[in-house]
Structure 1
């Protein structure tokens, strides 16, 4: 009995507010109350909406949802805090196309979803798993396997922990550089960097480096003017990373851009960003 509303055209705060508020009309038949609303966003979209939350219709739209599911990439803590301050209810989701979307909510697997780790990699089982990749048996065999009990598991490619019933994702196993002979997870570096004021939407990419082999670079969109210089922001980010991951993991540079390249999904286009940085570097 529900009628999902799909945005047409480019995602924007105005189009989001218009679509949301159109669903707040009285229920059919004159029954009392309004429908419970849910939507799903990636962090970049949420950030765009929060930046426009001084506009009353946008703020009202955000506050109208019983829950806004946020997935596709890690949710920066500053974004979560900004949303909480406005009374916006967020739920972190974890999953993939192979798991029919989010199947872990705020770290807790849904009923019938099983999670375990093998050599640090998260694996998922349950009735929501895809049968495989159409026409690609080799890739299917690589990413799906059965254990000794015949249970079928999806190999997520994500590093993480499953402890006391809670999933903690550390980052992609393949988003790693080797700098000075030491493996560095760019996802973990990025998560820390996004805690720096002004770098909430930053992306961290790896580039070749003559001395270390590879180095990490922070790329962030220019936002509101901050009292601190870019050098001070970089120093703050390097200190945070050093304290948590070690000095070897510190980003080498900070590059500010007018706008980050994004995919149709709204996620950062990391490969495009990496190529642009490599050319500059």
Structure 2
């Protein structure tokens, strides 16, 4: 009987950012507005790229995939969060929680891989410009994205299969806004050694290696830029990397913030705030970074809005 109390659980309790009833409408409005801005901004990037033939290049192909992943990323957590705030409920079903963990890991990993692939794209474009169209052909780009999806789908699935063997109490509280893998593992009542080992292996392989790839790509890019005689050529070549560098800094900066808040501090509120920056704020800012810093995207966006305005006028 005692074992049954721990092995079967139908739902978890997400404690959320605040228990104050007066703050719930403010939190609902804040997260709803952030969600709408994120979805509309990334949809606009996808629509702009798909509608303008000038942007049908590998760099913007990867950018449109990044925007799609960011939409999926925020849609995994915020709708359920808004529903709980609206219904004044903390409950999330066990299956729904595992589903959140699966898709959160998948989309976070896809962001990681896509940023790495985009760095490789800039490396080839600047260091091997004459071979760029041959190396970064549409088939190769499609295979890279497909391979990223396959890897992250299987890694996330293994996480879920390992979690299925964990035992939880009948009333399991998770001090978070959503089901984050690390927080769910902390709430388990059985040994999570195997889960932790696999998690650290994944972080080492799928975290360190992509970061190393990005750093290597930009070291080679900087080396190539220094060999250019013309300052104008240097600026023009490096300007194509500016938006990507900003997104990389934001993504990994907030990611490190989540890790440090979980490992160094014992404050659940600090961990939640860091996770919000990582899972909500970063996807929301990506479209603004690429649209404001990229002349090609700004030009295509202006043309798209002009066509939409003329069509509406007619």
Shorter-normalised TM range: under 0.3
Give the alignment's TM-score, normalised by structure 1: 0.25
Q: Is the radius of gyration larger for structure 1 or structure 2? A: 2
